[in-house]
Structure 1
Amino acid sequence: MGGVDATMRVERIEKWVYFYAAGADTGSFLARLASYAVDTLADGHGSRAFILSARGKIQVGFECYRLNSAAHILCCHAEQAETFTRLLDMYHFGEDFELCPMDVTQAYFTAGTADQEPLSQFHIGDMNALDYAARTCRFRDRDYRVLKTARYGHPVYMIAPVAEGPDPLLAEFSLIHQTDIGFDHLEYERIAHCIPSAPNEFIDTYTPLDIGALDGITDGKGCYPGQEVIERTIALGRPSMKLVAVSAQTRLKMNQDVSHDGRVVGRITSCVNTGETASIGLAVLKYRSADLESWTIADGDLKKRPLSSE
């Protein structure tokens, strides 16, 4: 599989859920919980963030997009949505904050750049410079939320109408001649670029530092659950684990043990087949073992893989 070189239509990504967060205290409330200083985001900007346990382990990873000071869009994997809403409810103590699920069944997903069709019609070319971004756009007397995520290693945009019901513009977009790509292609790109994500790497076994998710942490940020563990680990300069890109001439399996010299040193967290008898994946390994060039799995050898340069 290759990279995403032109605008492509993406099948609806049902594995992620979206919430509209409204209220004057939204930014400060989320910042009190999150590992990233989301209250410092500028309008139209977004970021990944985590809510951690007291031990610094990941309870949930999410994306936060600021539309304006009183409106944000939050996004997390469907498998972590219940945990996410439970944590927000648990820490909510009367702040001006309201969370509402977004209906994205009519949304249009596309991979590419903002200056190509159909995105160019929204005049959002400045989004090209951002990994995570969001806008409310007015087009043909209708309002749309446009979100950009970098969770797959290539930009993927969601265009969602604000109004309920069938949308004529998105119906037009469906007729534009574009190559169709599915979630499997996006997952390949994510693994090829060694990008950790939910639910595979965002689990309570690891800290964000263990999986290299530094873009979801603001170093030196004020108090949040797990802060002391994160800051202590940063000060030491080395987490206990490390995310590594790997490949094998066999079919890798999720949660498969990875060994060296007869000892288990980690496990496979993500994998995708690249041929009948080959695959690439991500493994979280003990830090001292992560610098090796090869390891063993139950049915063969595991090799360190160079990252995609695309």
Structure 2
Amino acid sequence: MSWITGTAPASATSAPVNLFPPSSSSAPARYSVLPPHYTRLYYPTSTSYRFTRRSRQPLLSYTLSSLPSLPHLKDAFRALPFHLSPPPIDHDHSFFTQDTVTNADDRISIEAFHSDDEALDAAEKGAVVVDLSHYGRIRVGGEDRIQFLHNQSTANFECLSEGQGCDTVFVTPTARTIDIALAWIMKNAITLVVSPVTCESISKMLEKYIFISDKVEIQDITKQTCMFALVGPASNQIMERLGLIDLIGQPYGSHKHYSVNGKPVTVAVGNVISEEGFSFLMSSDSAGTVWKALVAQGAITMGSGAWETFRILQGRPAPGKELTDEFNVLEAHLWNGVSLNKGCYKGQETISRLVTYDGVKQRLWGIRLSSLVEVGSAVTVDGKKVGKLTSITAGKRASEPFGLGYIKRKAASKGDTVIVGGNVVGTVVEVPFLAQQRVLSKT
């Protein structure tokens, strides 16, 4: 069906939600919390609801007038958004393709985020909540899902069990970087969290490598779900106040299913920017309630501008910037997502040679700068080009210029001085995300 987006009139804020509106252009409004910090209004322009098989091919199509004669389908359809047992992401969404309806009481109206500097300070000393619903979520299902992802990315999925997780890197056959994915091993599927700019291409790439005999299903569940990150040293206190204490101190990627104020949510240790903090994954119907609960317990709201600054300060590489076909996975220093001991997988031969023959010639570093300079500027030492700047931010209070860049290993390392863009002085520094990476060897 198709939908028209618009702005909610004041009179609509208390209107009841009607899952089966009449066949009329004046049908009652439907509300969604994706993302949670503003309200989106939908008007149905078609009264046909389609049901699909797991293969995503149309199975049946009914109009509302036919549903009364099929009470079992009508009841199932009405129950779907509201009666999924946790985890909502681990349920088989593919049979019904209806968008989730959000109760009016769970909507979040437009609200101002804290200033970037307030949020960045809280990320260092307190706790912040960030809406990452624009990040991609890919559900990999089917009996062969473990072996499939084991062969298509760099991590060892065969050593993981339900409730665990890891980072894995999608690379080209020559180990050039595409994206890092945060993977959670659930009961019926593996959920992958990827960058918003790579979700579609990674989904298509995975589908391309499914053979006829493979029992694997790829489903983009981004629009049916929401995701928040809880970041900062006070994240554990927020979790304690919410009663989610049994994840505190657990390994990165560990996840469990909870109820927050009556709404089902999947919570995991770590997030896309750090092994510390937590991720919250839920249906759109639960997002408003969970967001309000985190804010009520003291989490400061962080907007997209501050999040990009925080990403650079933390040293988390991003597609199109640090992750391109110009750099390989070990130059990006993504060791935590790489297994050197598992069987054949895409990019393995190149990675094996790089490790065996010490072939990593450059690596990603943080660079503290004396002033701002353009992305792409050359990094030089003694007048010779030794690298390239890939990201930059003005930093907190626009007074602490900081960048990420690749530098040749023999030219400079931590603590050394470099020149960026011809005249800007830079100091090479370690950054938290890359400092967490544990360099591996064949031995």
SS in 2 for 1:231: helix
Q: Which residue among 248, 273, 282 is the counterpart of 2:404?
A: 282
Offset, 1:241: 1.3
Gaps of 5+ in 2: 1-119, 436-443
Query: Residues 156-195 of structure 1, C-alpha deviation per residue, up to 9 Å, x if partnerless?
Result: 4332334747754544444444322234444444433434
| Equivalent pairs, count | 307
Aligned equivalents of 1:248 and 1:173: distance in 2? Answer: 35
AA at the equivalent of 1:57? R
Q: Which residue among 14, 28, 37 is the counterpart of 2:147?
A: 28
Is this contact kept in 1: 2:135–2:222, CA < 8 A?
no
Do residues 303 (structure 1) and 427 (structure 2) align? yes
Offset, 1:253: 2.6
Corresponding residue of 2:205:
87
Offset, 1:124: 4.7
Gaps of 5+ in 1: none
What is the 5 A alignment of 1:110-129?
110-112=230-232, 115-118=236-239, 120-121=241-242, 123-129=244-250
SS in 1 for 2:199: helix
Residues 42 and 257 of structure 1: is their aligned pair in 2 closer, same or farther, counting only changes over 3 Å?
same
Offset, 1:220: 2.2
Q: Which residue among 48, 54, 61 is the counterpart of 2:180?
A: 61
SS in 2 for 1:289: coil
Residues 209 and 108 of structure 1: is their aligned pair in 2 closer, same or farther, counting only changes over 3 Å?
closer
TM-score by length of 1: 0.85
Q: Which has the larger radius of gyration?
A: 2
AA at the equivalent of 2:409? Y
Is this contact kept in 1: 2:260–2:290, CA < 8 A?
no
Is this contact kept in 2: 1:59–1:83, CA < 8 A?
no
For CA contacts below 8 A with separation 6 or more, give which structure has more relative contact order. Answer: 1
What is the 5 A alignment of 1:1-310?
1-2=120-121, 3-10=123-130, 12-68=131-187, 70-94=188-212, 95-100=214-219, 101-103=221-223, 106-112=226-232, 115-118=236-239, 120-121=241-242, 123-138=244-259, 142-153=263-274, 155-162=276-283, 164=285, 168=289, 170-274=291-395, 276=398, 278-291=400-413, 293-298=416-421, 299-305=423-429, 307=431
More strand by share: 1
Query: Residues 223-266 of structure 1, C-alpha deviation per residue, up to 9 Å, x if partnerless?
Result: 11211110111112340211122111111332222123333221
Is this contact kept in 2: 1:191–1:281, CA < 8 A?
yes
Cα RMSD (Å) of the superposition? 2.9
Aligned equivalents of 2:148 and 2:194: distance in 1? Answer: 17
Is this contact kept in 2: 1:18–1:75, CA < 8 A?
yes
Instruction: Give aligned-pair identity as a percent.
Output: 16
